[in-house]
């Protein structure tokens, strides 16, 4: 999408089956693509696989709200994330915004992130 007024951006997170099943916290993601990474990706810069606390939140939301287009539903495919892991991921996420320099100028994305977590 870049500067497109008609196209919408997409975020894609890839995981390796054996890295998340059975579930363990924190989990590892293999690759993530998002609009915020566009310039780096166009320059050939890709993040390596890494531990990602957000996977506890993403997989919980996928199990609760997703619709499978092909294959099994997310709640059948992914193990449930224990509530304590979900709350730990939320606590760790909140630590990202401890002081004004952490969120100043990015208030919209902070509110959207928190809304996504609690939806």
Q: How many residues does the chain have?
A: 119
Q: Which of 5, 11, 35, 47 is catalytic?
A: 11
pLDDT at 3 over 80: no
pLDDT at 11 over 80: yes
For residue 73, the model assigns a pLDDT of 95
In whole angstroms, give the CA distance from residue 65 to residue 30: 23
Q: Which residues contact 10 (CB under 8 A, 6 or more apart)?
A: 33, 35
Q: Taking residues 49-69, what's their average pLDDT?
A: 95
For residue 115, the model assigns a pLDDT of 87
**pTM recorded for the entire structure:** 0.84
Are the CB atoms for 13 and 58 separated by under 8 Å?
Answer: yes
User: 5 catalytic, yes or no?
Assistant: no
Are the CB atoms for 59 and 81 separated by under 8 Å?
Answer: yes
pLDDT at 9 over 90: no
Predicted confidence (pLDDT) per residue in 22-50, tens digit = 999 999 999 999 988 999 999 999 999 99
Domain ranges of the chain: 12-118
Token pair for 99: 């002081």
């Amino acid at each position: 999408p870049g500067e497109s007024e008609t196209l919408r951006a997409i975020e894609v997170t890839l995981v390796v089956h054996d890295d998340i099943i059975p579930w363990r916290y924190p989990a590892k993601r293999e690759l993530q693509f998002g609009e915020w990474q566009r310039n780096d990706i166009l320059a050939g810069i890709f993040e390596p696989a890494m531990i990602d606390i957000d996977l506890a939140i993403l997989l919980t939301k996928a199990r609760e709200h997703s619709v499978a287009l092909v294959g099994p539903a997310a709640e059948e495919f992914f193990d449930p994330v224990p509530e304590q892991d979900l709350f730990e991921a939320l606590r760790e996420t909140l630590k990202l915004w401890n002081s004004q320099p952490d969120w100043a100028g990015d208030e919209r994305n902070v509110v959207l992130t928190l809304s996504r977590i609690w939806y």
